Each structure stands twice: as structure tokens, then as C-alpha cells.
């Protein structure tokens, strides 16, 4: 058994689409795209043959198959193979769809995918994802990178990284699913659509003052922009090196127990898995941080496609942030869970309210008009890295990464998602979990979840020993190297 699997990088190449894009095609970015600033996404899909586990693949066979099928997939995603250029105003980015291609790294790893997963942590997982910071000449820089890592003992990892300016986690998942459909020679389930965001039904006037009725979303983004720092934090890499990511696996029964704890005699609300788990970790991390008696300031981030009436194939940023308002200054405890969940539900309600989201889009568009007139000089920052909130909780309930079957049996058994850079914020991502009975797959509506928590390494032990976490007994499926052993916080093997 390989106790310390190593990754060997074989080559880096450029992969282009099988059909040329229409000459002169360009793609303008929306206000929700541009507000994402300098963030990027990283995802890792671990695949193995779940139906015929003893099936033998020649070295490089899976990589060759995936490389050929991604070329055909890229034909449907012209902005992925494009390059960033400036709009005529010289300030904002747009995509020139020029078939410049995607950078692909091919690698090999010792051991099997199961052995790797039994001892994986954030640092090791990052070896499966290739990312390069933007060159001083963006025209020669790829906004998307793919890394294919074959394990000598069986299995493969697909690492995807991309600029958040172009895609959110839902888009990235959509691309992997389309790639799997084409590799499996089936009809693409959700073809991408690159149309603009809907136009708000408000009077268009290049002045923010005409939006008389504000909402919590506008106030959140306004505070984010007003409190932003324009210069990029030079210590981001240093900060990132001092954080750890733990992945907790919550079974359906654990989530249902948490739902029951969120109910009181007078409040029998049917909370969602996201609401109760984000409430749980809001309490836990507030107690771990121990700054004051109350809860730390937290924002949530959810997909607003349904609120905007967009189809499932819409390709573009639709993740919206909102600050959670909670006036409680009591020490965090299980008795605080119902009020915490209720506060999260109210904040989520603004994101699922079409009028609130459309109002935010209108406000951002009006701000863009003022920026272009020179009234504002600051670029819109990312709500993930700026603002007053110490913690952000991102919900990805609407994605289904485990449906991406690349051929009969070759399916994801685990998927990790990162929104980078984390900076000094504490980050919680709540993702669907694979079906425990098969080691893969996902059934819509099931409450099972994986919670990825990124915090400073110094707080890892306290989180694992937290009473609320111990009572539910989730498995730690990633980050065991950073975790402190606890009798009721088991490490899954």
C-alpha cells in the first residue's frame, strides 16, 4: 500500500475544440460576473469503476479517452476556450471567443484512488488541480485548466480550475457533466446557454438614486464595495498556507437529527439541509473563535437561477451573497440553533426572491453606469473576500456532480470544491454527498451532505472537539492529517 502517494507530472498541452468558433464572436460579462473580482474555483472529481472494480485499463488509456472527448465538449463552450480582453471602455473584461484552447496537465499518482482518499488533505488534494495566476499579458493566459491524474492502482482524478469571473460552481459542474455525457456517447442533458441576464422591469436611468426601495442584498453589496480594499492582498498565499480544509460527511439520519434540534415547541419549521448545517457550523465556529459572547458575522451564498427564471443550462455567475442578521449576543449553544436557522432562512429568502435579486442587478448596472462616467474609480470587489463578515457559508444543493458518468461504471465517488482565495475569511461549503450504499451516485432530495470547512489550522482541534459536532458524530473524509483525534469525531477510511 502506498502510504504517501506521490504525483508525477507528465506533460502540459493545449486542447482545442473539434469545430472552429464563429469568427469575431465575443461574450460580454454580466454585472454578477464582474463582481466576482479575482476569485477562482477549484474542483476535484475522483472517479473509479464502480460496477467492474477489477477492470484493467492500460496506462494512459483513460487519459486518452478523456482528452478526446473534452475536445468535442469544448465545441459547445466557446467562452471556455476564449481569452480575456478589455472592453472598449478599457476597464472591464470581456471574452474573445478565439479557440485558443484549454491548458491540460497529464499526471500519474502512486497507489489507488481509494488509498489516496484514505489519507488526503487540502495540501495533497491541491496537487491534483493545476492553476496559474494571470499573466501580465492576459491574452496568452488560459482562464480554465484541467488536470488528469491516473492512479497506478486504479482510478483517476479530474482537477478543474477556472476564473470565477467566467463561471460559478454550478457552471463548472455543468461542464463536467456535459463532458461525461459526450464521453459516454449519450445526449447532453443540459446544453449550455450564454444569453444575458434578464433585464429588470424598472425605469432605466443612469443614477442609483432612482432605486428608492432598497433590499438586504443591495445593502450587503453596497457595504462590501464601500469597505473594500482595491489593492490585492499580497499575503493571500501566506494566509492560504496556514489554513486547513476538513470535509465532514453527514448521513441523512444525522441531518434529520439536526433538523429536529432546529425545531422548538412554537416553531415547527421544515428547515432545509443547508439551513440547519450552516446554522450548526455558525454556532460551532463562533464558539471555536471565542470572540465575544455572540455569533460571528456571517454571510450566505446561494444560487439565484430559479429566482431569475433562468433555465438549468444558463452559463454564468448566479451565486448571490447576503448577510445573515442575528441580534443574539448569547454564548453559542444548541439552544441557539432554532434562532440561528431562522435568521439563515430569512437571509436565504431574499436570495430566492425574484424582486430582490432583480433589484440588486439593477443597482449593480446603475453603479456600472456611474463608474463608466467617472463618478467611481474603484473596481467592484468580490463579496467573498471583502466586506465585514468573518465567515461565509456557500450552499450548493442544486448541483449534482455524481451524475457525471464517463463510461459504464466510471463514476465519481467523491467531489471536492474550493472557492479561492479564502484570505482571512472562514469558509463553509455545503455539498451533496454520494450514496453510501454504492460509494457513488446521488439521489435528488436525499438529505446526506458533505460539509467542507476551511479555517486556520490552529482552530482545527477545537472544531473537532466541539460538543455539537461530537453529538452528531460525522465522519471526517478529508483533512485527517490536520485533525486532532476525537472519540466521537471519526475519521472515515
For 4-55, how does the pLDDT look when each residue is reduced to its tens digit (9 = 90+)? 558 999 999 999 999 988 888 999 999 999 988 778 999 999 999 877 767 7
- For residue 372 the three cell numbers come to 463608466
Using CA atoms, how far residue 465 sits from 79, 472, 489, in Å, is 45, 12, 8
pLDDT at 202: 55
Residue 439 pLDDT class (50, 70, 90 cuts): very low
pLDDT at 124: 94
Res. 437: pLDDT tops 90: no
Which range, of 158-167, 181-190, 213-222, 478-487, averages the lowest pLDDT? 478-487
Using CA atoms, how far residue 339 sits from 217, 253, 335, in Å, is 21, 22, 8
Give residue 292's Cα distance to chain centre: 30
Res. 370: pLDDT tops 80: no
- Taking residues 293-306, report their average pLDDT: 91
Residue 227 pLDDT class (50, 70, 90 cuts): low
Res. 301: pLDDT tops 80: yes
Res. 162: pLDDT tops 70: yes
**Which one is predicted more confidently, 147 or 444?**
147
**Which one is predicted more confidently, 80 or 488?**
80
* Domains of the chain listed by start with CATH number: 7-183 (3.30.559.10), 216-478 (3.30.559.10)
Residue 381 pLDDT class (50, 70, 90 cuts): low
- For residue 352 the three cell numbers come to 430566492
Res. 493: pLDDT tops 60: no
**Which one is predicted more confidently, 419 or 443?**
419
pLDDT at 24: 85
What is d(CA 103, CA 107) in angstroms, rounded to the nearest whole number?
A: 13
**Which one is predicted more confidently, 137 or 297?**
297
User: What residues pair up with 41 in beta bridges, in sequence order?
Assistant: 162, 419
Amino acid at each position: 500500500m502506498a502510504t504517501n502517494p506521490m504525483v508525477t507530472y507528465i506533460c502540459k498541452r493545449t486542447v482545442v475544440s473539434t469545430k472552429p468558433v464563429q469568427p469575431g464572436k465575443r461574450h460580454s460579462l454580466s454585472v454578477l460576473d464582474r463582481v466576482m473580482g479575482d476569485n477562482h474555483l477549484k474542483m476535484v472529481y475522483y472517479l473509479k469503476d464502480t460496477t467492474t472494480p477489477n477492470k484493467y485499463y492500460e496506462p494512459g488509456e483513460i487519459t486518452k479517452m478523456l482528452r478526446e472527448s473534452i475536445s468535442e465538449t469544448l465545441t459547445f463552450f466557446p467562452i471556455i476556450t476564449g481569452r480575456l480582453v478589455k472592453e472598449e471602455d478599457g476597464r472591464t473584461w470581456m471574452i474573445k471567443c478565439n479557440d485558443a484552447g484549454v491548458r491540460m496537465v497529464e499526471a500519474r499518482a502512486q497507489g489507488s484512488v481509494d488509498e489516496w482518499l484514505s489519507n488526503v488533505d487540502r495540501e495533497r488534494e491541491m496537487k491534483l488541480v493545476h492553476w496559474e495566476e494571470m499573466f501580465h499579458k492576459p491574452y496568452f493566459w488560459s482562464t480554465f485548466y484541467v488536470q488528469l491524474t491516473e492512479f497506478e492502482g486504479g482510478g483517476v482524478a479530474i482537477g478543474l480550475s477556472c476564473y470565477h469571473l467566467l463561471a460559478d460552481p454550478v457552471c463548472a459542474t455543468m461542464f463536467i457533466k456535459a463532458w461525461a455525457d459526450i464521453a459516454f456517447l449519450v445526449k447532453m442533458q443540459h446544453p449550455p446557454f450564454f444569453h444575458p441576464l434578464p433585464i429588470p422591469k424598472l425605469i432605466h436611468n443612469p443614477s442609483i438614486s432612482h432605486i428608492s426601495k432598497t433590499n438586504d442584498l443591495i445593502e450587503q453589496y453596497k457595504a462590501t464595495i464601500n469597505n473594500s480594499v482595491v489593492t490585492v492582498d499580497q499575503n493571500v498565499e501566506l494566509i492560504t498556507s496556514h489554513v486547513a480544509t476538513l470535509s465532514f460527511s453527514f448521513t441523512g439520519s444525522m441531518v434529520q437529527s439536526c433538523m429536529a434540534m432546529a425545531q422548538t415547541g412554537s416553531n415547527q419549521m421544515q428547515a432545509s439541509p443547508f439551513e440547519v448545517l450552516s446554522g450548526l457550523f455558525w454556532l460551532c465556529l463562533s464558539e471555536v473563535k471565542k470572540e465575544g459572547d455572540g455569533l460571528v458575522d456571517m454571510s450566505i451564498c446561494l444560487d439565484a437561477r430559479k429566482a431569475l427564471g433562468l433555465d438549468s443550462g444558463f452559463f454564468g455567475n448566479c451565486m448571490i451573497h447576503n448577510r445573515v442578521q442575528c441580534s443574539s449576543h448569547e454564548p453559542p449553544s444548541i439552544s441557539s440553533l432554532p434562532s440561528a436557522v431562522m435568521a439563515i432562512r430569512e437571509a436565504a429568502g431574499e436570495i430566492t426572491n425574484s424582486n430582490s435579486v432583480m433589484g440588486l442587478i439593477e443597482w449593480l448596472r446603475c453603479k456600472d453606469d456611474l463608474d463608466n462616467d467617472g463618478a467611481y474609480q474603484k473596481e467592484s470587489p468580490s463579496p467573498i473576500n471583502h466586506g465585514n463578515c468573518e465567515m461565509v457559508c456557500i450552499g450548493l444543493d442544486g448541483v449534482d456532480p455524481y451524475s457525471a458518468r464517463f463510461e459504464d461504471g466510471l463514476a465519481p465517488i467523491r467531489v471536492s470544491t474550493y472557492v479561492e482565495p479564502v484570505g482571512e475569511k472562514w469558509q463553509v461549503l455545503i455539498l451533496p454527498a454520494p450514496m453510501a450504499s454504492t460509494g457513488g451516485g446521488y439521489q435528488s432530495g436525499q438529505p446526506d451532505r458533505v460539509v467542507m470547512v476551511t479555517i486556520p489550522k490552529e482552530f482545527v482541534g477545537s472544531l473537532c472537539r466541539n460538543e455539537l459536532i461530537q453529538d452528531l458524530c460525522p465522519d471526517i473524509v478529508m483533512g485527517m492529517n490536520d485533525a486532532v483525534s476525537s472519540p466521537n469525531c471519526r475519521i472515515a477510511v
